[in-house]
Amino acid sequence: MDSLNEELQSVNKPISEMFDCVSAFKMKLKLWDNQLKMNNLAYFSHLKSVESKCYLNMQKYTKSFTLLRHELEEQFQNFSIAEPEFKLFAFPLVADIQTAPDNLQMELISLQCDSKQNQYFAEMKLHDFYSQLPKDRYPHLRSFGLRMIAMFGSEHACEQFFFLVHNNKKRRSIEI
């Protein structure tokens, strides 16, 4: 959980990358849960080391993983609902035009056929790419991209600040 928290606190991480981190973590939890159910301790070195010394009740651990997975699903259910938007934001050059919102379809066709913008997309970070899209040619797509960039923007900046303050306090208390 700490590694997921740190990844989500990264500076200038687009919402689509945060979604990827959460999705990967949920998949890992599912894998670990299934492996525990089969008594496979490949990713549990501590449990593996004590397994030969005592009886381990795997049901207790699998129950904890199941509860954790459900809690994570609940916490990030809005992320799952917005997945199509995150995918469109991260991969506009290969987006399925038919499933894209109506107001973006014509601009997506133009973008996917625009060699210059395709090159920019390959060379730039997402926030730079959407910021440079010409307002006159891609007004809706640019607005969509900037809205996605701004999602959680100010709240995320505050959370990062408090995360840094908390870590600095923790470091200082360790030094004392």
| Cα distance between residue 13 and residue 149, in whole Å | 9
Output the pLDDT for position 91: 94
Q: Is the dihedral of CA 72, 17, 88, 30 positive or negative?
A: negative
Q: How confident is the model over 111-164, as pLDDT tens digits?
A: 999 999 999 999 999 889 999 999 999 999 999 999 988 875 544 444 554 555
Give the angle subtended at the CA of 12 by the CAs of 118 and 116, to the nearest 5°: 10
User: Could you say which DSSP state residue 124 is in?
Assistant: S
Q: What is the mean pLDDT of residues 5-25?
A: 75
**9 vs 89, higher pLDDT:** 89
Cα angle vertex 136, ends 134, 142, to 5°?
A: 50
pTM reported for the whole predicted model: 0.63
Mean pLDDT of the residues in the chain: 80
Name the residue type at position 46. H
Position 98 scores a pLDDT of 97
Q: Which two tokens stand for residue 86?
A: 């995150």
* Model confidence at 12: pLDDT above 90: no
15 confidence band (pLDDT: 50, 70, 90)? confident
Q: Is the dihedral of CA 66, 71, 74, 75 positive or negative?
A: negative
Asked whether the beta carbons of 72 and 29 are under 8 A apart, the reply is yes
Provide the H-helix boundaries in the chain: 2-8, 15-37, 45-51, 58-75, 77-81, 83-90, 102-112, 115-123, 126-132, 139-150, 153-175
pLDDT at residue 2 tops 80: no
Using CA of residue 82, residue 142, residue 108, residue 18, what is the dihedral sign? negative
Mean pLDDT of all residues in 61-88: 83
